[in-house]
């Protein structure tokens, strides 16, 4: 079974996001693995669900790609929200995460680009193999909404 690291920001979450992702989000706290490390959302001019999705995607990409040895990285990483639950100022959002080992993912992309539209390219087989290679996991992400306002 594949395990993924618990990401810590060891300092200023906002600064880490700016450094790694070159974007400025009004956040503080941790990476939302649990209540204690909830990401605090401060006022921003974006829809809350969009900010939450982007933060969850950033964390998952750190877990499944950036922090892993090159041979163990995942590509084609995708998230789908499963549910959300509000508990006072806290909100827990669950996501289904999928990814394919990066080398396999790149080979599938190349195969698709080369074969699509050609008579001998079996599209059904291609997507069946791609589905079989996909890892699926579920994560929780905790958000502190005490200061949240869409500005």
Residues belonging to the chain: 151
Would you kindly state where each structural domain of the chain is located, as residue ranges?
13-99+136-144
- CA–CA dist 4, 126 (Å, integer): 28
The DSSP H or E segment spanning 90 is: strand 90-101
Give, for all 151 residues of the chain, the pLDDT tens digit.
788 989 887 789 999 999 999 999 999 999 999 999 999 999 999 999 999 999 999 999 999 999 999 999 999 999 999 999 999 999 999 999 999 999 999 999 999 999 999 999 999 999 999 999 999 999 999 999 999 987 7
Bridge-based pairing of strands 74-87 and 27-29 is unpaired
- What the block records as the tokens of 26 is 């009004």
Report the SS3 class of residue 125.
helix
Given 3-state DSSP classes, what are the helix, strand and coil percentages for the chain, each rounded to the nearest 5?
40, 30, 30
- At residue 1, the pLDDT reads 76
DSSP 23-78: ----EEE---SSGGGPEEEPPBSS-HHHHHHHHHHHHHHIIIIITS-GGG-EEEEE
């Amino acid at each position: 079974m594949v395990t993924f690291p618990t990401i810590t920001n060891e300092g200023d979450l906002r600064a880490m996001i700016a450094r790694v992702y070159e974007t400025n989000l009004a956040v503080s706290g941790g990476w939302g693995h649990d209540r204690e490390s909830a990401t605090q959302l401060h006022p921003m001019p974006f829809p809350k669900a969009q900010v939450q999705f982007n933060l969850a995607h950033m964390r998952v990409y750190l877990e499944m790609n950036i922090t892993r040895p090159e041979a163990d990285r995942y590509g084609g990483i995708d998230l789908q929200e499963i549910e959300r639950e509000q508990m006072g100022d806290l909100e827990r959002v669950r996501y289904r995460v999928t990814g394919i080992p990066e080398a396999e993912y790149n080979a599938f992309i190349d195969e698709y680009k080369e074969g699509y539209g050609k008579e001998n390219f079996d599209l059904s087989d291609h997507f069946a193999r791609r589905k079989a290679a996909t890892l699926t996991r579920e994560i929780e992400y905790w958000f502190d909404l005490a200061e949240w306002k869409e500005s």
